[in-house]
Amino acid sequence: MKHKSILLSAAFLAAGAVGAYAQGNGLAGINEATSMVSSYFDPGTKLIYAIGAVVGLIGGVKVYGKFSSGDPDTSKTAASWFGACIFLIVAATILRSFFL
């Protein structure tokens, strides 16, 4: 009977040690994942800025083509392309400041 209680105590002690060890590794894993995700924000922000620049150039060429041809819809096209560029820049800046 005494052997069973010693064995049971040792099992509970081992289970507690494994639980504490797992909690420590979980915290380290979360910290590592956080640092990995936050390291992607600078290149991601620069990529969004580059996409915004390309969209702006394409929009400028498209608006110039409509303006040169005398299309009355030029101001609507210019506003939509300009709005898209501003949205990309503002969204990238807000996301970066929100998460970092």
pLDDT by residue (tens digit) across 3-46? 555 545 555 555 555 555 555 667 888 888 888 888 888 888 88
Residue 50 sits in the same domain as residue 98: yes
pLDDT at residue number 22:
52
pTM of structure: 0.59
Residue 4 sits in the same domain as residue 49: no
Residue 20 sits in the same domain as residue 46: no
Residue 7 sits in the same domain as residue 45: no
Residue 16 sits in the same domain as residue 48: no
Residue 33 sits in the same domain as residue 44: no
* CA atoms of 60 and 67, how far apart (whole Å): 10
Assess contact for 84 and 76: CB atoms under 8 A: no
Residue 88 sits in the same domain as residue 75: yes
* CA atoms of 50 and 43, how far apart (whole Å): 10
Please give the residue range of the domain that contains residue 23: 1-39
For the chain, how many structural domains are there in total? Answer: 2
Residue 21 sits in the same domain as residue 57: no
Q: What is the mean pLDDT of the chain?
A: 77
Query: Is 66's pLDDT higher than 70?
Result: yes
H or E segment and range at residue 71: none
Assess contact for 85 and 56: CB atoms under 8 A: yes
* CA atoms of 71 and 74, how far apart (whole Å): 6
Cα 38 to the center of its chain, rounded Å: 8
Burial class (CB in 10 A: 0-12, 13-18, 19+), 1: exposed
